[in-house]
Amino acid sequence: MFRLIYRKYGQGIRWKDDLLSGLTVALALVPEAVAFAFVAGVDPLVGLYAAVIVGFITAAIGGRPGMISGATGAMAVVMTSVVVLFGLPYLLMAVVVAGILQVLAGLLQLGRFIRILPHPVMLGFVNGLAIVIGLAQFGQFKTNHRVVYDPEVGFLTKADWMSFSSPALQITLGLIIMTMLIAHFLPRFTRAVPAPLVAIVLGTCLVAFTPLETLTVSDVVDQQRALQYETQVKAAEFAEIESDLLVKEVAARGQAVAERSLTESEREAVADLPKGLQASLPSFAIPKIDLGNQTALQAVLVLAIALASIGLVESLMTLSLIDELTETRGSTRRECVGQGVANIVTGFFGGMGGCAMIGQSMININSGGRGRLSGMSAAAFLLVFILFAPRLIEMIPMGCLIGVMFMVVIATFEWSSFRLIGKVPATDLWVIFTVSLVTVVFHNLALAVGIGIVISTVCYAWERSKEIRLELHQEEEGKRYYKLRGTLFFGSIQPFKDLFNPKDDPDDIYVSFRRSKVCDHSAIEAIHNVSERYRSLGKRLHLTHLDPGCSKVLNKAGDLVETQYYAKVAAGGH
């Protein structure tokens, strides 16, 4: 157990660094968990419970010490529809099923495929995610939050940008700048205490003991909770009358419902909503769902697959990134299993599930947290705060947290990408740009990575297909010897066929595969096609110098290849 919690480094056990960085991360986890909970359409405590449970379990048994996990935006955005249509229990069941799928992926060692991701895809993922994290912070620069109706997506909240002359904006910007300066310059003087933690404490004291008024964590939580309640009430009201409306009346009536003032009873209900982050320990409960509702069960399964894939992609990509930063090696198999177990547990304890968080992981690494204790202590500190000292978190100015996240964006973004222009193939630059763009636009990391892999694969196949060529090596009476260079696979079969001219060749043609390989069924079909062209003219085609792998492919083909026209020649032959 001692070795599980404390990780040993060359300079001894750095438990102090892990504890302090865990405290810093715990503070930074709060606004993210709250924000993502509202994105998913659930109460903030559902997101906080996920941050605690997923964070602790993955830190304890996952495959990457120092990596932080919790509720994430990438998973939250796909949860909304199930929550709106069927309710929280169905989301929790989807989280449990997703966890089971992730455990199976770990047991089958599917996570190792993350190691073959092209580097441009990794760069695009990191840059896109850094931009998403940065853009998410600008939501705190808005005011006048209200419920509006959009015919395409339904009821949602909207806000206006603060005026630049607004004192609230100026104070927030001041806190952001102060936090960023402390985070940048303090490590030059001392690393005894994480710079982000110092910035957060100083900012909180500045606001608490001066007349400065600015948005705090408590303000955001209460505001978002009230907006969520109002959105749900008006959406339910509109759902009762929508079926009786003409198509041309829907938009106007929906906006009218959105703009109406809350009734006295509704205002009282808002006033009675829980305030701040006060909570009790999460309790075990099996999600109650209707097993006879096939539509709901299908939605749960589809959501579970989406959550499992998005969670694994984001976690394994983050793991690879931290591997590079720390020059260490995490276990993809353990990470898959750890994430799966964490989601299974959090689903049964009322959490919305989660995966690795690149922003908080970067805060942890930059603050000196490298061991399992850092992630476990972050979850433990967060639980202590919401149970016994929620006021300490509620007092934190949002400007300080935004400043910390902006420093994360700066550290996460691969600025070296700009130096690659003109130095790497144009296709690699397009992959970086495309993956970044898809990540920013769709907030779907699995989709972005998938598109990047497809583009990289197609570009690679296209370039390799151009390398196939046939060289005349030697010519004897009635015989001609060729050397084939390049890889014979699905992308190069047409150029391969075009290399041969049976009408001009003698009766026996020998093709050496010493510098070529037969890779797939398409290659076998191409060889068969060429051999048929020679046989139709009464000529023979012989393949020589096939390596064991190529011979195995051809032997497996059986009748698909006219084996009587191939003769292996000893390695010392032509």
pLDDT digits (tens, 9 = 90+) for 207-238: 999 998 899 988 888 888 898 889 889 988 99
| Domain-terminating residue out of 442, 464, 486 | 464
Asked if 324 and 420 sit in the same domain, the reply is: no
Asked if 399 and 309 sit in the same domain, the reply is: yes
Q: Secondary structure of 409-465 in the HEC alphabet?
A: HHHHCCHHHHHHCCCCCHHHHHHHHHHHHHHHHHCCHHHHHHHHHHHHHHHHHHHHH
Asked whether residue 234 is domain-assigned, the answer is no
- CA trace torsion 243, 244, 247, 252 (10° rounding): -100
Asked whether residue 262 is domain-assigned, the answer is no
Tens of pLDDT, residue by residue over 109-127, are 887 777 677 888 888 878 8
Asked whether residue 129 is domain-assigned, the answer is yes
Give the separation between CA 501 and CA 484, rounded to whole angstroms.
14
pLDDT at 2: 39
| Tokens 């699905």, located at residue | 490
Query: What's the domain count of the chain?
Result: 3
pLDDT (mean) for 158-176 = 92
Asked if 352 and 383 sit in the same domain, the reply is: yes
Asked whether residue 38 is domain-assigned, the answer is yes
- 114, 315 Cβ separation under 8 angstroms: no
* Res 568 pLDDT > 80: no
Which segments of 350-425 does DSSP mark as H helices, in order?
358-366, 372-388, 390-394, 398-412
Asked if 447 and 458 sit in the same domain, the reply is: yes
- 387, 279 Cβ separation under 8 angstroms: yes
Q: Give the rounded distance of the alpha carbon of 14 from its chain centre.
A: 29
pLDDT (mean) for 442-464 = 83
Asked if 548 and 427 sit in the same domain, the reply is: no
Contacts of 240 (CB under 8 A, 6+ apart): none
Asked if 435 and 517 sit in the same domain, the reply is: no
- The one-letter amino acid at 121: V
Give ∠ CA 490-498-464 in degrees, rounded to 5.
40
Asked if 475 and 549 sit in the same domain, the reply is: yes
Asked whether residue 253 is domain-assigned, the answer is no
- 464, 478 Cβ separation under 8 angstroms: no
pLDDT at 554: 61
pLDDT at 553: 57
Tens of pLDDT, residue by residue over 251-282, are 999 999 999 999 999 999 999 888 877 777 88
Asked if 317 and 434 sit in the same domain, the reply is: no
Asked if 195 and 103 sit in the same domain, the reply is: yes
| Tokens 């990540």, located at residue | 439
Percentage of residues of the chain with pLDDT beyond 70: 92
| Domain-terminating residue out of 435, 464, 493 | 464
pLDDT at 109: 85
Asked if 338 and 449 sit in the same domain, the reply is: no
Asked whether residue 453 is domain-assigned, the answer is yes
Asked if 381 and 436 sit in the same domain, the reply is: no
* Average model confidence (pLDDT) across the chain: 84
Asked whether residue 165 is domain-assigned, the answer is yes
| Domain-terminating residue out of 426, 447, 464 | 464
- The one-letter amino acid at 441: V
- 71, 352 Cβ separation under 8 angstroms: yes
* Res 550 pLDDT > 70: no
Long-range contacts of 412-421 (CB under 8 A, 24+ apart): 412/126, 412/129, 412/130, 412/133, 412/358, 412/359, 412/362, 413/126, 413/127, 413/130, 413/131, 414/123, 414/126, 414/127, 417/123, 417/127
Give the separation between CA 381 and CA 120, rounded to whole angstroms.
37
Residue 192, CB half-sphere, CA atoms under 13 Å: how many?
A: 2
Asked if 396 and 501 sit in the same domain, the reply is: no
The pLDDT confidence band at residue 11, using thresholds 50, 70 and 90, is very low
Q: Which DSSP category does 329 fall into?
A: -
Give ∠ CA 313-317-320 in degrees, rounded to 5.
145
| Tokens 């997923």, located at residue | 54
Domain with 442 in it: 415-464
| Tokens 């006021």, located at residue | 391
